[in-house]
Chain A
Amino acid sequence: MTTKLKEVDVVIVGLGWTGGILAKELAESGLKVVALERGAPRTSANDYSLPNIRDELRYVVRHDLMQNTARDTLTVRNNPTQEALPMRRLGSFLPGEVVGGSGVHWSGHTWRWTDMEFKIRSNYEERYGKKFIPDDMTIQDWGITYAELEPYYERFEYTAAVSGKAGNINGQIQAGGNPFEAPRAKEYPLPPLTPILASEMFSAAASNAGYHPFPRPSANASQPYTNPDGSKFGGCQYCGYCQRFGCEANAKGSPHMTVIPIAMRNPNFELRTHSWVTNVLKDNDGKRVTGVTYTNVLNGEEFEQPATMVLLCAYAINNVHLMLLSGIGTPYDPVAQKGVIGKNYCYQTGAGATLFFEGKYFNPFMSAGGSNATIDDFNINWEFDRGPHNFVGAYNVNGGFNTALPIGYRPVPSGTPQWGSEWKRATAKWYQTAMTIGASGSVMANRHNCYDLDPTYRNAFGQPLMRMTFDYKANEHRMGTHAAQVINDIAKSMNPTKLNPAVARTDPWTVVPYQSTHNTGGTIMGTNPRDSALNKYLQSWDCHNLFVVGANVFPHNASYNPTGPVGALAYWTADAIKNRYVKNPGPLVTA
């Protein structure tokens, strides 16, 4: 028995950063907006303050803010010859499931992706020729430019209280910033966080090697701040509990303490929590969506919420899942290379070294999401010639810590026994003396890496699970090898007492342990409906009143964390809806 509710202007599926931004913006423009969030309502005052926080067991081991895999999960495999099996416990990535979404438990790293990504195929073909790109590498231009997104990046950075140092303001290179970044109109809203010893040592070594270290931009307020919407931030206390936790000092830019409470105060907006959307409904000819069906997970009641416009703002994987379940757009077929929904799933790769310095005291319990230094010499530096190394893509290198939690952080030199009294002695001896240098690397789209619906396994609602087929390819192996060499050269130059060197990831990808919650692609944006699911305004090519927002729109994955462009694109889409779509509903780009 499904209860049909009164029609609203906009229904938003999922209330994290993208849903929160769109909810606030569209409610303020006068539209009646309902958001459906599958998770619970949680607030800083009730939930992200003592004694409910700094609890590693609850949040890290038991995933308190993350998707419940007993209700819905994915099946995973490396290639089509394997049978995909359900991921019964979260590992490699951690989708949020709460009001605020993954924006509650992120670290805050906020980057601007540039035309190096948005024009990737054109860039590589122009410089290296068409043959440089392998046949099975399905990278494509995004159909958007950095210049178009620049004001929206700024908007997001000022909303989320990003601390950093500009490297390029209107073309003028700025000392202390990232010299390779694309020009920005304004400085960051806040100065960088206080560097920690480990990041200072890394920066010194990187400078000596001729690289260009800079403080990592991060939505951790380096001092008290009031954003342009009036949301108030406390200054970061360097407690080290960013990643996987809500911030107790209100210092980490998160949707639950910025855009969402503003939307909640607007009478045009209504939030329904514990509301699990099972289907996006279409009209008879499939040209428009008409609303969604959802289930209240507390009591099993089913509802139909009609809406003039539907915005999918759930976690990237779940947005794609909902498109496949609802039969919107043509599912991607990797054999025929036809269809678009599920295409170009990408992940990230990396390599890391641990350095031990007898006699140093790094105080690893004090850090913040952005308390490390970065070099982009092998990332958005187009002067770096990929030709001799034969890879497409990029990586950034970081030194320092973001977090060092009491249960999980036990650095020991390789060769130490993995348990027993010898291990205990080693963890005590080396705890204060260890620091890391790591690389985060891009993953290029590949025709075989994709999503579809699993033929066997179903979720608690009787719907097919999402199936993920993914593995790293030779391109990523070559890049990882290069990154490991750079990391190890910097590490050795610092002359550590002991070094666990970086090793390139060349084994098949597995769903354990945790690696990165930067899953991208599946409903990608692009210039035409043959190659992409959405136009540059994240509007469905198939149903013009459906917008799909999140990292699922990225045609490939860069080395940078995705939240910068995710937030910027949410503002960009909000403007397109408010200023153009509402006045003249229809396709914003002619196919």
Chain B
Amino acid sequence: MRVATCAAAVFSLTLFLMAAARADGDAARGQARFQDCAACHKLEAGSNDVGPSLHGIFERKAAALTDFRYSPAMKRSEISWTPETLDKFIADPQAMVPANRMPYAGMASPNDRADLIAYLQKMSK
């Protein structure tokens, strides 16, 4: 058990280092990247749709909205949304939170993700 915890910690650290989000995203370009999200997510507070509202995303933990039906996987994930965790999630949602119910294969390009996150940082406040 102890060994497993250690291994997991090392593994997470490695992932964190590899996946460190770029901080120099361009919010204007990110608006176009948000097209990928907009069919299901809105940015206004209280505007849950197919996906939860992204208003205030960087100020809350995963599955924090009480009026959205999250998957058990997302509820268990205990993620705090930061530019780094969101970058990792958007890169491959099923890898980071297996069995979450967002039907999205992932955004492969780190630059695109950085732009998207810059846009979200600006617009989700």
Contact = CB atoms under 8 A, between A and B. Distances in A.
A235 B33 CA distance: 12
B12 interface: no
A148 B38 CA distance: 35
What is the interface of chain B mostly: helix, strand, loop, or mixed?
loop
Interface in A17-60: 44-45, 49-51
Contact of A232 (B39, B48, B101): B39
Chain A interface residue bracket vs B: 10 to 19
Interface residues of B, number: 13
Interface centre among B36, B38, B50, B104 (most CB of A within 10 A): B50
B90 to A, nearest CB: 14
Contact of A249 (B38, B39, B48): B39
Interface string A195-224: 000000000000000000000000000011
A250 B37 CA distance: 10
A248 B39 CA distance: 10
A51 B49 CA distance: 16
B72 to A, nearest CB: 10
A251 B40 CA distance: 10
A233 B105 CA distance: 15
B35 A224 contact: yes
Contact of A49 (B36, B38, B50): B50
Interface in B14-56: 35-36, 38-40, 48-50
Given A44-B50, A250-B50, A49 B101 contact: yes
A246 B17 CA distance: 40
Nearest to B101: A50
Contact of B39 (A50, A51, A239, A251): A251
Nearest to A235: B36
A250 B40 contact: yes
A500 interface: no
Contacts of A223: 35
A266 B71 CA distance: 33
Contacts of B38: 224, 226, 232
A237 B39 contact: no
A586 to B, nearest CB: 43
What is the interface of chain A mostly: helix, strand, loop, or mixed?
loop
Interface in B58-109: 71, 101, 103-105
A61 B81 CA distance: 41
Contacts of B101: 49-51
B39 A45 contact: no
A237 B104 contact: yes
A233 B39 contact: yes
Contacts of A51: 101
A232 B40 CA distance: 8
A543 to B, nearest CB: 41
B103 A248 contact: yes
A45 B36 contact: no
Interface of B: 35-36, 38-40, 48-50, 71, 101, 103-105
Interface of A: 44-45, 49-51, 223-226, 232-235, 237, 239, 248-251
26 contacts: A45-B48, A45-B50, A49-B50, A49-B101, A49-B103, A50-B101, A50-B103, A223-B35, A224-B36, A224-B38, A226-B35, A226-B38, A232-B35, A232-B39, A233-B39, A234-B39, A234-B103, A235-B36, A237-B103, A237-B105, A239-B103, A248-B50, A249-B40, A249-B103, A250-B39, A250-B40
